[in-house]
Amino acid sequence: MRLGRLTPERTLFLICDVQERFRPAIHKFPAVVSGSLRLLATARELSIPAIVTEQYPKGLGRTVAELDTACLAETGGGVFEKTTFSMLADAAVSGAITGAGRTSLVIAGLEAHVCVLQSVLDLVGALPDVEVHLCVDAVSSGSPTDRLTGLRRAERAGAFLTTTEAVMMELIRSKEHPSFKAISALIKASKLPASEALEPVA
């Protein structure tokens, strides 16, 4: 039985296509940005690599300004352009993911039923030793129906549904962890009102 336990040394964060042109078209887009910010801040705090992808940025714009991607190289990550929907279908992104040597992949971003789902299907299908975790509070689509459909199919394919807070707390495990105060402060500072948060997955 797979438990999907997370540890910093085995984890890689993937932020999928949180781009400017999607801002007006995505259901509760600010929640995706907030959750992605949490993961990137956690990556810096715990020295976890983070890979950010951009789907056809010439037409869809770059990653939103709120996400500071300039320092990703410090953790062994980076920003990658792609035109394929699946992250794994792009040679550069696939090489970065497999080259990181991590077996727990935590995903946030867009869209749940397209790029995120196709990435999950390819990752689960091609990398049997890898466990994929989807942060449901930081993954969305143009409509709630598409979001829910994508998340449910991804779960049936073998992904673990989780939240950014659950990921962050599992990575430190204890109040005795050196980063407990920093992680706790980050969670409190980035807490969204219920009206702005993405809906739970029933």
Query: From the candidates 16, 17, 90, 135, which is the catalytic residue?
Result: 17
Q: Which amino acid is residue 179, in one-letter code?
A: S
Query: From the candidates 28, 82, 122, 137, which is the catalytic residue?
Result: 82
CA atoms within 13 Å, Cβ hemisphere of 12 = 23
Q: How far apart are CA 160 and CA 45, in angstroms?
A: 23
* 82 is an active site residue: yes
Q: Are strands 78-82 and 160-162 parallel, antiparallel or unpaired?
A: unpaired
* 17 is an active site residue: yes
Cα dihedral across residues 169, 72, 66, 162: positive or negative: negative
Query: From the candidates 16, 28, 90, 115, which is the catalytic residue?
Result: 115
Cα dihedral across residues 162, 164, 167, 169: positive or negative: negative
**Would you please indicate which residues are annotated as catalytic (active-site) residues?**
17, 82, 115
